[in-house]
Structure 1
Amino acid sequence: MSLTRRHFVAASASLLGFAAAGQSLAAVPWSTGEQPPRLKFPSGSVDCHMHLFDDRVPPVPNAKLRPPNATLADYQQLQERLGVHRMVIVTPSTYGFNNQVLMDGLEASNGNARGVAVIEPTITDYDLQKMHAAGVRGVRINLSFGGAGIEYLEPLAARVNELGWHVQFVSPGKALPGLEARLRKLPGTVVIDHLGEVEQPGGFDSEPFKVLQRLLDTDKVWIKLSGAYISSAVGAPSYEDYGQLAGLLVAKRPDRFVWGSDWPHVTEKGSKPDDALLADLLLGWIPSESIRNQILSLNPSKLYGFPT
């Protein structure tokens, strides 16, 4: 058992014992508010984008994001509050190519998590197989905060395609037009974070938004509804401009969308958002309950290989 797993297990057991005693839980770390959402998450629902942080694993020297600890036990409090059953843990840029926090989180999750790692093309087949057995199902290319850069796009896609993994891609929206042709040519599935970070205002008429529409027609691209605060000009609480883009794209291909909380919201330097209110935005963006349930449960189960 690794040091980090020992910490996760002990903290998780403490949390479960606290809840079993019938006592109310405190506010969730790195989230505002204490009330549950109005949205009812379906059985088998998946939060497809969250991060874990552990200060026993050092950040890379050039890390732009260095948040305090955000543990699995912390996140499990959020799961309880929201009613989400499963998670996808994404290695943040903070750790460069070190996936130790991810691997420990997967080990402690009792099968309720999948992972997205940050790797180099020189990784051994043995290490890839070890990650796959642990639950890793994707690799991340990050043009926003560092880690695996665009020069790794094709080599990594080729390495992981035989495992059935996807390439998860995050970048400022303005980079999408120049990368559209390369994304189309990749051999496997592509997942685009944060609705492509289409810059607002003016998103409807922008070329990045048109790129997302075209990529959805390829049958190989998925998009995450996550991180509305990254690109919205309207901002909290409605993120109306983001929601309008989301609603239009979801109507086009509801089978190609998943949702993520982006907890612990490391790009938000002030007060953290209320995760229940963020979840409730889906009620307005996607009025159809059946489509919401598809995005929250059926789609991610297919993409990440969760049992249905």
Structure 2
Amino acid sequence: MAITRRFILQAGGALSALTVFNALSSTPFSSGEKQPVLSVPEGSVDCHMHLYNDKYPAAPGASLRPANASLADYHQLQTRLGLHRMVIVTPSTYGTDNRLLIEGLRQSGGQARGVAVVDASVSDAELQEMDRQGVRGIRFNLSRGGTSLDSLEPLASRIAPLGWHIQVVAPGEKLAELASRLRALPTKLVIDHMGHVPQPEGTKAPCFQTLTRLLDAGNTWIKLSGPYIKSRIGPPGYEDVGQVAAELVRRRPDRLLWGSDWPHPTKAENDKPDDAAMLDLLAHWAPSSADRLLILRDNPSDLYGFDHHAHG
């Protein structure tokens, strides 16, 4: 559908920016209509997405309170991108309330795994029940709160027997401070959004060196997700963040994951990115089809416990 100046004027000025945005996209919380050029391998996994539903109260002080984004909404994105599997991450909005995560896992037909947010008060029985539902890790959000680092090592010791991992989202500068603690964890470690490496420093930033050392330590995975978060160049190419991604691929394609970050909670409702175009960026970051197979299918299948091929 072509949205022209004449179209907006004919609407009598009552057409909001959000309405215009929705008219431009047939996929909720995603701009554009085209499918990606990149054909993803069978069994590919979107390793980072969120669900939102206001029937579950936001945590006190939550700074992100996006519109409701359901699993049915997300399935439209999956259809557009050619994906079937996902990793649902409890967002900072809900603090340590994982009810919506568990609801999504139960509705997924076995095609989802979960990453929860907990604190030291969580019981072993609760952890075991979450494991049965498909949870495979816990997240520490050091950018927006919700968890205390005081519980990092104690919780890591408790989830290690379950085979879970620790997932961390933090400002890039914070990673250097935490590096020794993260390397010493008895679990696998997953770092969100390419470590939030600042721009324009990019690969020259000290925290990028921290990332590479963590990769070399052998227990770390990094998500190629949210390129818009730190990019100063912006869409469609996000070339500055793309240099970080490409260098990570060059170094350790066997330790990388891809995630959409749908429904893009840090972006305004009328400024959502084009998910198909962002998936296509992977062809530039990882030109080798063998590397893309690792990033999209094999690495997440091993980390989250999916079969490498079947999705039905």
Task: State the alpha-carbon separation in 2 of the partners of residues 125 and 155 from structure 1.
Answer: 12
Using the TM superposition, name which of 189-198 and 289-298 deviates more.
289-298
Instruction: Give the structure 1 partner of residue 295 of structure 2.
Output: 295
- The answer for the alignment partner of 2:304 in structure 1 is 304
Q: Give secondary structure in 2 for the equivalent of 1:128.
A: helix
1:127 aligns with 2:123: no
Q: Which amino acid aligns with 1:295?
A: I
TM-score (norm 1): 0.90
TM superposition shift of 1:155: 1.6
Distance 2:254 2:203 in 1: 21
Stretches of 4+ aligned residues off by more than 4 angstroms: none
User: 1:292 Cα deviation (Å)?
Assistant: 0.6
* Residues in 2 aligned to 1:149 and 1:265: alpha-carbon distance in whole angstroms: 24
In structure 1, what is the Cα distance between the partners aligned to 2:236 and 2:149?
33
Aligned 1:217-236 pairs, distance under 5 A = 217-236=216-235
* CA-CA distance at 1:249 after TM superposition: 1.2
Report Cα offsets for 1:197-223 as digits up to 9, x if no partner. 000001221110000111111110000
Alignment root-mean-square deviation, CA: 0.9
Q: CA deviation at 1:92?
A: 0.2
Residue of structure 2 equivalent to 1:117: 116
Equivalent pairs counted in the alignment come to 283
The answer for the alignment partner of 2:209 in structure 1 is 210
Q: Deviations over 1:42-89 (max 9, x none)?
A: 100000000000110010120010011000000000000000110000
Please say if residues 189 and 219 of structure 2, whose CA atoms lie closer than 8 Å, have aligned partners that are also in contact. yes
On the 8 A contact 1:93/1:147 being kept in 2, the answer is: yes
User: For the residues of structure 1 that align with 2:236 and 2:80, how far apart are their CA atoms?
Assistant: 19
Match of 2:138, SS state, is: strand
Task: Write the distance in 1 (CA, Å) between the matches of 2:89 and 2:260.
Answer: 12
- Tell me the residue number matched to 1:104: 103
The answer as to whether partners of 2:50 and 2:262 remain within 8 angstroms in 1 is yes
User: Conserved in 2, the CA contact under 8 Å of 1:142 and 1:150?
Assistant: no
Question: Residue 179 of structure 1 aligns to which amino acid in structure 2?
Answer: L
Alpha carbons 1:121, 1:159 under 8 Å: kept:
no
- Per the alignment, residue 67 of structure 1 pairs with 66
Give the C-alpha shift of residue 146 in structure 1.
Answer: 1.5
Alignment map for 1:236-255 (pairs within 5 Å): 236-255=235-254
2:70 is matched by which residue type in structure 1? T
Determine the structure 1 residue equivalent to 2:180: 181
Equivalent AA in structure 2 for residue 290 of structure 1: A
Give secondary structure in 1 for the equivalent of 2:168.
strand
- The answer on whether the counterparts of 1:201 and 1:241 sit within 8 Å (CA) in structure 2 is yes
Q: Is the 8 A contact 1:228 1:242 kept in 2?
A: yes
Letter aligned with residue 100 of structure 1: R
Deviation of residue 151 (structure 1)?
2.0
For 1:298 and 1:204, the matched residues in 2 are separated by: 26
Shift of residue 122, structure 1, vs aligned partner? 2.3
- Counterpart of 1:274? 274
Residue type at the aligned position of 2:67:
P
CA distance in 2, matches of 1:151, 1:205: 30
Report the more deviating stretch, 296-305 or 228-237: 228-237
After superposition, residues 47-62 of structure 1 pair within 5 angstroms as 47-62=46-61
CA–CA distance in structure 2, aligned partners of residues 264 and 152 of structure 1: 29
Q: Structure 1 regions of 5+ residues with no counterpart?
A: 1-25
Tell me, yes or no, if the aligned pair for 2:172 and 2:197 is still in contact at 8 Å: yes
Deviations 1:216-270 (A, max 9, x none): 1111000000011111121111111111111111111111000000000010124
